[in-house]
Amino acid sequence: MQNLSVEIIPVTPFAQNCALIWNPETMQGAVIDPGGDVPKILAAITAHKVDVQSIYLTHGHLDHAGGAAELAAALHVPLVGPDERDKPLLDAMAEQGRYFGLDLNAVSPDRWLTEGETIDIGGTAFSVLFCPGHTPGHVVFVNEEGKFGIFGDVLFRSSIGRTDFPYGDHAALIAAIKTKLLILPDDFAFICGHGPESTIGAERRANPFIR
């Protein structure tokens, strides 16, 4: 992405790719999916001297949203997203945490996101696309001009998000990937919620789950 800097901060025992993204000229930016390890995220923000304006969530899973309330309180910035259909997951953050021995509270975003709207990251507009299946309210962020996106747990390098949860929907996930993501150009690059980044072209060629 030409006019934005990106630092991936692996957080939680799940090595979730929290992303700190900012405009190197204005130093304004955003944090996406602060799943935990908030001191580590704050250290990265301080090290790069980023003026964080917002926190955005792709979906309501613990490893993406578990540190969101703590980080929003520390930075005094709005917590935005995902789609409201993930509210039950965010409401149940204490239960999600207890399962892994973590003491967490419910996460209450300042506002939800809806497909078709745009969010601002360091002065660059990203479209919000609703891509359910991994969770009911999963959203991804796409900048078509810069050919760059943040895809959360929808599409990974050579894999896709798991759907073996009670609320998972494999058919919906595949439909969202095919109709909303695979229509992007081959050289469109994206950050995944876990593991290395990839491009649409690489996944179109080699991802066994979307053949």
Determine the size of the site formed for Zn ion (CB under 5 A): 2
- Minimal distance, residue 194 CB to Zn ion, in Å: 8
Tokens of 144: 């078509």
Q: Nearer to Zn ion by C-beta: 59 or 147?
A: 59
- Minimal distance, residue 132 CB to Zn ion, in Å: 12
- Minimal distance, residue 5 CB to Zn ion, in Å: 25
Q: Nearer to Zn ion by C-beta: 61 or 85?
A: 61
Q: Nearer to Zn ion by C-beta: 70 or 153?
A: 153
Q: Nearer to Zn ion by C-beta: 48 or 157?
A: 157
Write the binding mask 129 to 168 for Zn ion: x where contact by CB under 5 A, - elsewhere. Answer: ------------------------x---------------
Nearest-5° Cα angle at 122, 190 to 117: 70
Q: Nearer to Zn ion by C-beta: 61 or 87?
A: 61
Write the binding mask 34 to 63 for Zn ion: x where contact by CB under 5 A, - elsewhere. Answer: ---------------------------x--
In this structure, are residues 56 and 30 in contact, taking their beta carbons and an 8 Å threshold? yes
Q: In whole angstroms, what is the distance from residue 131 CA to residue 129 CA?
A: 6
Restricted to residues 56-115, the positions that interact with Zn ion (CB under 5 A) are 61
Q: Nearer to Zn ion by C-beta: 48 or 194?
A: 194
- Minimal distance, residue 190 CB to Zn ion, in Å: 15
- Minimal distance, residue 195 CB to Zn ion, in Å: 13
Phi, psi (rounded to 5 degrees) for 83? -65, 145
Site residues (vs Zn ion, CB under 5 A)? 61, 153
